Structure 1
Amino acid sequence: MEIIICILAGILFATGIYNLLQKQLLRIIIGTGLITHGAHLFILTMGELKDGKPPILTHGIDDYVDPLPQALILTSIVISFGITSLLLVLAYRAANENNTDNMEELRGNENE
């Protein structure tokens, strides 16, 4: 199961990087979202996918699930939501002021 999730995380990283290299702002934002989802899967896989009881200390239970990857993923989700919302606002503002979302046109002309 871990191999499948690692392959899926790699596919998400690859498609995210492909979208980051595009010219449209919306595709760049989608690329950042895909990369963060790949990072979430990678963190989850590194925490070992195993069955166990919740990490609440009780007598008689020895097999606990590690809570650290879950906490890291939750923090990462909050940070990626903030970054995605910031990028969407910046893209909306740039597209409204310049009437385009193409990065080549937003770069400007060197002769001006």
Structure 2
Amino acid sequence: MPSFAILLFAGVLVGCGVYLVLERTLTRVFIGLSMITNGVNVLILAMGGAAGLPPLLGGNSDTIVDPLPQALILTSIVLSLGTTAFGLALAYRSWRLTGHDEVADDVEDRRVARGRAATAETSGATGAEDPDIIYDASGDDQ
């Protein structure tokens, strides 16, 4: 049974990571993804069980550690390192080109959504028939 402090630590990491992923700058998004990954790794490690003997040494089967969580965490660390490096390189390139790394609104996507909403209004559809129709109640055209 893992300790409450380790589970709380994993929860705090995932919670802070989700908060950062919801930001609009690429740097914070990728740091948030890294925090989520680390939180899940801590959770997997905590669920792996108590410390014991390495599986190769043998001995009593009650004290042997399961190597699968460790292998999953090692793979996750390698993949998250590559993903974070690629994402931060994209953020740096965006900052060099535009002076900021903020994710801009997709103007074309908003135009398509307004066109579908206008088509739905002229045809009398309420939007319940077509789940792809997106209504922008704010009227904000940024």
TM bucket normalised to smaller: 0.7 to 0.9
Equivalenced residue count is 106
* CA deviation profile, 1:23-74 (whole Å, cap 9, x unmatched): 22211111011001001001111211x131111144xx11211111100000
Q: What RMSD over aligned residues (CA atoms) do the two structures have, in Å?
A: 1.8
Partner of 1:2: 3
List aligned pairs for 1:35-74, cutoff 5 A: 35-48=36-49, 50-58=50-58, 61-62=59-60, 63-74=63-74
TM (normalized to structure 1)? 0.84
Of structures 1 and 2, the larger Rg is shown by 2
Structure 2 unmatched runs, 5+: 109-140
Aligned-residue offset at 1:3: 1.8
Partner of 2:97: 97
Q: Give SS of 1:107's match.
A: coil
Aligned AA (2:46): T
Identify which of structures 1 and 2 has the higher relative contact order when contacts are C-alpha pairs closer than 8 Å and 6+ apart. 1
* CA deviation profile, 1:78-109 (whole Å, cap 9, x unmatched): 00001101101111111111221122xx3365
Aligned AA (2:70): Q
Structure number with higher helix proportion = 1
TM (normalized to structure 2)? 0.68
Structure 1 unmatched runs, 5+: none
